[in-house]
Structure formats: structure tokens, C-alpha cells
Amino acid sequence: MAVKLGYPSRTHAWTALAPAREAAILRQRVGPEEIRFGEWERGTWSAQPWHEGESLYGLWERLRHTDDPMAPDLGEALSCAVALAELHDDGWAHGDVQPNHFVIGRAGTFLIDLALAHGGEVPGRYDFRYRGCLVHYEAPEISRSILESDTAVPTKEADVYALGASLFLSATGRRHVPYPDDADRKDQRRAIVDKPHRPIDVPGRLGGLIDHMMSRTPADRPTSAEICRELRGAL
């Protein structure tokens, strides 16, 4: 089992509620018999099935340590797109798509950490406002909304952008938009809003698809289902 213990962090109170919020979502997708959660003196806790495997970032390490650029495995990229598309088909936007949230193993590919997902019912006592995700994968419209109002609404289109940014960073080791390593989150988000993303130099068929996924206009991005169809056709 994967056991999570939530408590307030130095900067965020919502982290205390995150395990129970995620568990409430997982119960709708996996079933209540496999998910447990409750409260303790500092927040909430949860227990859920453990998924054995390696993260997308770890799996593609070999691509980042070679003198000759290598094309990523399209089957592995497809498995991540399928996991995201299944979540979208269920009516949810993940809100925190990143390479370490794709666990790829013999039993399949799992998209984990749903604490920030939106699209269905969440008990009010465990709910909280969405204030963005790990900025390295944030879509420009999400960063802009956080800067302007300190909150945003996760969308499937932003998930697609984040998947593209995740594939790009996993393959190249570079963030989609350059900014100093020690930049604070506001400066990171300003860079995402104000600067174009880096040229997508990922070899093979995946490079052009990532570029499409990372369009600055949400409506121009392919859906997760369209990404799956294109990758299947390229295999």
C-alpha cells in the first residue's frame, strides 16, 4: 500500500487535506473497498494500492546521457497518453501532470497523485482552491491565472500542455521555458507567461507532436485521445 500523511507545510495549509481529497477521488475511480482515508491531529491520511514501476523521468534517463540524441520510445509515450486519456474520459482534469506521476511497470502505466484533480464531487470538508502545480510543467494560461488571482481552474487542455512539457523534460533534461534555478515561483510563472517555450528538438515523430501539445492557445492543442491515436499510428 501507499500511505500518505498530510499536514500543513511552511507555505501551504491545503497539504493537510490533500491525502483525503485524493482518496475521495480515487474511491470514485477505483472503488471504496481499495481506498482508506481518515483524519489525524494535524490533517488527513490515506492508504491506496501501491503501483510498482519506474517514473517516466527515470525510465528515459538513458536519453539524457548520450552524445547522440536518441528518439524516445513511442510505446512508452503512448502508455502515458493513454493513462491521461482514461482520466479525461472519466471527466477529470489531473491538474498536476509531471514525469514522476507516470509510473510505468509490468502491470501497466499508472497516473498517480490525484489530489489536485477537478471534475467530480469532492467532500467540502476536504476541498481547497487550486493554486497551480509544479511550475516546470505549468501551461501559460494556468500560470497567468495564478499570477493574477492566486488561483486557477485545472483543465484537460492544460494537462495536455503539461504532458508535452513532461515528455520534453524527460527526453532532454530541460524545462520547457528557461529561467534561473533559484528563481522564485512568481518569476518562474512570469517566464512561462512572457516567453515562448524552448524549441522542441526531440528526435523522431514525438518532437512534432510535443510542439503541437505545447501550443500557447489551449484550443489549438490536441486532445489526449487524439494524442493516443497519433502515437498508435506512428508505432
179 shares a domain with 101: yes
At 187-226, the pLDDT tens digits run: 999 999 999 999 999 999 999 999 999 999 999 999 999 9
22 shares a domain with 64: no
The amino acid at 105 = G
Containing structural domain, residue 174: 51-234
What is the average pLDDT score of the chain?
A: 95
First to last CA, the chain: 34
Report the percent of the chain where pLDDT is more than 90. Answer: 91
Res 109: pLDDT:
97
- In whole angstroms, give the CA distance from residue 99 to residue 80: 9
154 shares a domain with 81: yes
Res 70: pLDDT:
85
183 shares a domain with 230: yes
User: What are the residue ranges of helices labelled H in the chain?
Assistant: 18-29, 56-59, 74-89, 140-149, 156-172, 185-194, 205-213, 224-234
CATH number for the domain spanning 84: value is: 1.10.510.10
Q: Identify which of 194, 217, 107, 206 has the alpha carbon closest to the alpha carbon of residue 163.
A: 206
Could you tell me whether strands 36-40 and 2-5 are parallel, antiparallel, or unpaired per DSSP bridges?
A: unpaired
- Out of 50, 67, 89, pick the residue that ends a domain: 50
75 shares a domain with 15: no
216 shares a domain with 109: yes
- Out of 34, 50, 66, pick the residue that ends a domain: 50
Q: What residues have CB less than 8 Å from 30, skipping those under 6 apart? A: 48, 49
55 shares a domain with 36: no
194 shares a domain with 142: yes
Instruction: Tell the residue number behind the cell numbers 552524445, with chain if given.
Output: 67
96 shares a domain with 12: no
At 167-179, the pLDDT tens digits run: 999 999 999 999 9
- Per the CB < 8 A criterion, the answer to whether 53 and 105 are in contact is yes
58 shares a domain with 43: no
Res 148: pLDDT:
97
114 shares a domain with 32: no
Res 66: pLDDT:
82
Res 198: pLDDT:
95
- Per the CB < 8 A criterion, the answer to whether 197 and 177 are in contact is yes
- In whole angstroms, give the CA distance from residue 191 to residue 193: 5
- Per the CB < 8 A criterion, the answer to whether 43 and 8 are in contact is yes
Q: Identify which of 109, 234, 90, 107 has the alpha carbon closest to the alpha carbon of residue 163.
A: 109
- In whole angstroms, give the CA distance from residue 113 to residue 166: 15
- Could you please report the per-residue DSSP string of 36-105? EEEEETTEEEEEE----SEEHHHHTGGGGS-SS--PPPHHHHHHHHHHHHHHHHTT-B-S---GGGEEEE
For the chain, the domain total comes to 2
110 shares a domain with 15: no
